[in-house]
Amino acid sequence: MSQSQTDTRGLPRWTGVAIALGAIVAGFAAVYVTLGRSDNAKPPPAVASAKPAEGGPLPAGPGANPLSQGHMAAFVFKKAPEALPELKFQDGAGGEVTLDKFKGKVVLLNLWATWCLPCRKEMPALDNLQAQLGSDKFEVVALSVDRTGVAGARRFLDETKVQKLALYADPTAKLSSTLRASGLPTTLLIDAEGREIGRLIGPAEWDSADAVRLIRAVIR
């Protein structure tokens, strides 16, 4: 090997170049690993679980919220409580009843019919809810909206072994359209002033922890 191909220490010149390039690459690698490790070592920010604020305002409008969860995922809150039209129906004795009878109570108004199989399935849960929360502050009002009237409603409640729910019926079968129920069962949650807070269309587990939590937030 000629003198021109070696450095002053007798090493080939390409060896020195390789060493220099290796040092540069190692330097870059050290910087990358350090920066990467610093960034990647940060844990993702903790996500707080959504819980309804104790005594806070109720959700406004449709969409995800801390109360429409689990068995109550289909419950839709109104943007603001809405006044209801006058509703007249009958009690078990055939006497006329209006929502004024329940003024001062939070009411869960369940519209059902004797021919409705989902209504039959959910009725025991409504009965259990009344047993659990029924008081001077809350009542489940299960209202039959078919032409079998009081007699048909009584047979239905006897067959489903209801014990805590009072009998109410609309023999005209018009209140489901008055309340714009798109199907049965439809359940409205009504505040102590008689205004609709929200509704759930279809059957639900009304004695579930999700349902109890939602209703307690309204009873306060």
**Encoding tokens for residue 26?**
């190692």
> How, if at all, do strands 186-190 and 106-112 pair?
antiparallel
CA distance 49 to 5: 70
Q: Tens digits of per-residue pLDDT, 183-213?
A: 999 999 999 999 999 999 999 999 999 999 9
Q: Tens digits of per-residue pLDDT, 92-137?
A: 999 999 999 999 999 999 999 999 999 999 999 999 999 999 999 9
Share of the chain above pLDDT 70, in %: 75
The full length of the chain comes to: 220
Q: Tens digits of per-residue pLDDT, 140-180?
A: 999 999 999 999 999 999 999 999 999 999 999 999 999 99
Coil, helix or strand at residue 199: strand
Predicted structure pTM score: 0.76
CA distance 51 to 47: 12
Task: Give residue 220's pLDDT.
Answer: 84
